[in-house]
Structure 1
Amino acid sequence: MELNPAQLESFAAAGYLVVGPLLPPERVERLRAALDELWNAWSAELGVSRAAYCRVVSQWTNLWESHPAFAEQLRDPVCTAMAANLIGCRRVRVFHDHVISKPPGQSSAVPWHQDYPYWPLQAPRAVSLWLALDDATPESGCMHFMPGAHREGECPAVDFLNDSKDWGPRRLAVRAVPVPAGWGIFHHCLSWHTTPANTSERPRRAYISIYMDADCTYDPAHSQWHPMNARVTVPPGGVFNDDNFPIVGEAP
């Protein structure tokens, strides 16, 4: 599966692109099972039930280092080639991956934001692949985008606890983007996006891989607090170190 010119144009215009199905049902189930294994192990380490653990924690990072199923998915040649094409680079490396879970009746909305203001990258040459592990519907908390807003440049980082962006009359342009399990949404690191709470009776789990141009350089001044800063071993202005930020794929 390769992206065609119309898809590339759509991504450039809107800042996001729905692609699917990217994974067959058996691979989706393998990732779900891998997540179950990790949740069981991590909750047991803390001496709490898995249900209690997942009520408190909603995001887990660098799963590619914790389970081979996520390491394999992160390096999927189809997905990494698409990421390289959308960025417009030859090779991509991982910034990090993460799972975000919205359990039924126990989640909250994620406010409107761009990702890039939180990342210690010198330039916005990165995309996220938001891969649905469950059917993501408007009721369960699917992604919402403001099409084209990525072309308006970077804005200051949003305070996730207090800020609430008001689009005014532009709110009519907001698009809910429901996708079935196994489908993906690539989105630009400057895209404006949000997700509502999960008001359904089903889980809403998503595996997100963040790919950047392999030649991206480290800029801690752009985001001094990001947890990935602790994993960087190169000086400011250097290309990210391969051990914690490996090159995982390339354009065809």
Structure 2
Amino acid sequence: MISDADVAAYERDGVVCLRQAFDPSWVGRLRDAVERDLATPGPHATNFAEGSSGGRFFGDMFMWRHDPEFRAAALASPAAAIAARLMGSAASDFFYDQLFVKEPGTAHPTPWHQDQPYWPVKGWQVTSVWIALDAIDRSNGAVEFVAGSHRWGVSYRPTPFRRGHEIKFTSSELAAIPDIDADRGRYDLRWWAMAPGDCLVFHAMIVHGAPGNDTPGARRRGLSLRYTGDDARYDPRPGTFQFPYQPDLPPGAPMTCELFPRAWPAG
């Protein structure tokens, strides 16, 4: 399913869009799981738009710990093999899942950021598989990427997604991320119109963000499954996000453990 051209694009640009990587059965199962989580949010759910704009930008994480369908997506869907292939890794360990739902009329954007500075992990083989569960374009919040920015050699200070959460990352000594929107013509910006079942696979160091959902009736449901590869190591350095669960790992250890299980090869 993944061509050598896809691998080359991922290595060069830091992101690739794979069409229909998840069949209608997976899309239906995951849509049902999302609706369950929206109706009865988990303990880590939040509305990123609260205090910023009207509407609802729902987020949740670690759903796989209590919902069997999210667990199946993480460990039994095509995502883990896709991640290993594009990372160039012999195996992939599941890191965590994160849900992003932008309801219609939600102006709050996803700020420009890199993923890895938030996370207690180091290494080059760290990636996300972002699965579209709705038709997505610019009007309802397509994710944008600065192509090639994963190779800039710079780690930027984590950007809070929700107003009032700035204090979480004040201990970081990293540089602030550039104001991409102030000079968009300077950057090679990429985005894709997506159909349900398409996925984006992107490096943890690529700079990316997304506009709000300005449509009156088009939802934007996206599930992000994070994976690490052979060279990834646990790195609970100061300034990273404190996960609600702590792995039984010493600093510098490979990521495979009960909290971060081996996802591919299966078993």
Task: Provide the TM-score with structure 2 as the length reference.
Answer: 0.81
Q: Give the equivalent residue in structure 1 for 2:249.
A: 234
Q: Give the equivalent residue in structure 2 for 1:22.
A: 21
Q: Give the equivalent residue in structure 1 for 2:9.
A: 10
Q: State the alpha-carbon separation in 1 of the partners of residues 113 and 59 from structure 2.
A: 17
Task: Provide the TM-score with structure 1 as the length reference.
Answer: 0.86
Q: State the alpha-carbon separation in 1 of the partners of residues 177 and 251 from structure 2.
A: 32
How far the C-alpha of 1:183 sits from its partner, in A, is 0.4
* 1:219 is the counterpart of 2:235: yes
* 1:129 is the counterpart of 2:142: no
Aligned residues: 241
Identity, % of aligned pairs? 26
Match of 1:95, SS? strand
Q: Within 5 Å, which residues of 2 pair with 1:31-180?
A: 31-42=30-41, 58-76=58-76, 78-160=78-160, 165-167=178-180, 168=183, 170-171=185-186, 173-180=188-195
Q: State the alpha-carbon separation in 1 of the partners of residues 107 and 12 from structure 2.
A: 31
Match of 2:252, SS? coil
Q: State the alpha-carbon separation in 1 of the partners of residues 141 and 123 from structure 2.
A: 30
Q: Give the equivalent residue in structure 2 for 1:48.
A: none
Match of 1:112, SS? strand
Q: Give the equivalent residue in structure 1 for 2:220.
A: 204
Q: State the alpha-carbon separation in 2 of the partners of residues 94 and 212 from structure 1.
A: 7
Read off the aligned partner of 1:5 and give its amino acid letter.
D
How far the C-alpha of 1:216 sits from its partner, in A, is 2.2
Deviation sequence 1:18-60 (CA, Å, 0-9, x none): 00201222321221111212222338x9xxxxxx9xx666211
Greater helix share, structure number = 1
**Is the 1:117–1:154 Cα contact (8 Å) retained in structure 2?**
no
Match of 2:191, SS? strand
| Gapped regions of structure 2 (runs ≥ 5) | 44-49, 167-175
Deviation sequence 1:45-101 (CA, Å, 0-9, x none): 9xxxxxx9xx66621101112221111111235321221121111111111101111
Q: Cα RMSD (Å) of the superposition?
A: 2.6
Q: State the alpha-carbon separation in 2 of the partners of residues 111 and 236 from structure 1.
A: 29
Question: Aligned match of 2:196 in 181, 186, 203?
Answer: 181
| Gapped regions of structure 1 (runs ≥ 5) | 46-51
Match of 1:220, SS? coil
Read off the aligned partner of 2:30 and give its amino acid letter.
L
**Is the 2:116–2:204 Cα contact (8 Å) retained in structure 1?**
yes
Read off the aligned partner of 1:166 and give its amino acid letter.
D
Read off the aligned partner of 2:259 and give its amino acid letter.
N
Deviation sequence 1:155-192 (CA, Å, 0-9, x none): 22243358773343644621222211110000001111
